[in-house]
Amino acid sequence: MQLPTTPSFRLDGKRALVTGASSGIGLGAAVALAEAGAHVVMAARTLGKLNEAVDAVRAKGLSAEALQLDVSDIAQMSEILTQQDVFDILVNSAGGGRHSPALETTEDDFDFVNDLNVKSAYFLTQAVAKKLKEAGKPGSLINISSQMAHVGGIDRAVYCATKHAVEGFTKSMAMEFGPLGIRINTVCPTFIKTPMTQATFNDPERVAWIEEKIKLGRVGEVEDIMGSVVYLASDAASLVTGTSLLVDGGWTVG
């Protein structure tokens, strides 16, 4: 009897771009990909903290380099990426929110979150996919979305709208990119303990609400996201595209 062989989760010889890589989920994704054998280009707006992160990754004997990149500056971002070698993997982790009741949303807050979470993500994904197509190479593009792309959230009307939008363009791009061998998916975390979410975790009422909604009874850690990123980047997910991997502790089940 010939047994099937488990596809490899290794990423040796692959080149990955991770945005928002100086901290939080982006840093976790960068470490995970590097541990799986990829050379990781870690991107963020400011070099100080980014260089510290890259040095820490290299100190583990892993392959990484820093790239100063402001994804909200579409023209500059596109120009920088044209000068880069093709990326086999993209983890689009740069993002943010300005949370408030819907009746208090300002146009400035709406534009800021939409430009960062949707417009920047869209055109960064486009730029990486263009180079893959030109090179005739397959690839795996991963957008860090949110459980809030599948439900609503208190004081998060704008944030939810942007993450629903990310899910939409991911599915549409999957239809277009599939014939090119380029896969694109989202990872949808629940509340993860990061510097960006610290204010939420400082609010006892919010913590109680979060713990009540998460069926596994605990909030997320960055480590909870790392395996999902490696899976989607690897040959183990070679038939997975246009879908959402929910890492939400059961938040969205009911």
Active site residues: 159
Q: Positive or negative CA dihedral for 13, 14, 19, 25?
A: negative
- Dist CA 4 CA 246 (whole Å): 27
Cα distance between the two ends of the chain: 43
Rounded to the nearest 5 degrees, what angle is found at the Cα of 152, between the Cα atoms of 95 and 22? 15
- Dist CA 189 CA 19 (whole Å): 16
By C-alpha distance, which of 92, 88, 153, 87 is closest to 123? 92
Largest CA distance in the chain: 65
By C-alpha distance, which of 193, 209, 194, 190 is closest to 247? 190
CA dihedral 167, 171, 176, 179 (to 10 degrees): 130
Neighbour count for residue 176 (Cβ, 10 Å):
11
Rg (CA), the chain: 18
DSSP per residue, 67-133: EE--TT-HHHHHHHHHTSPPPSEEEE---------GGG--HHHHHHHHIIIIIHHHHHHHHHHHHHH
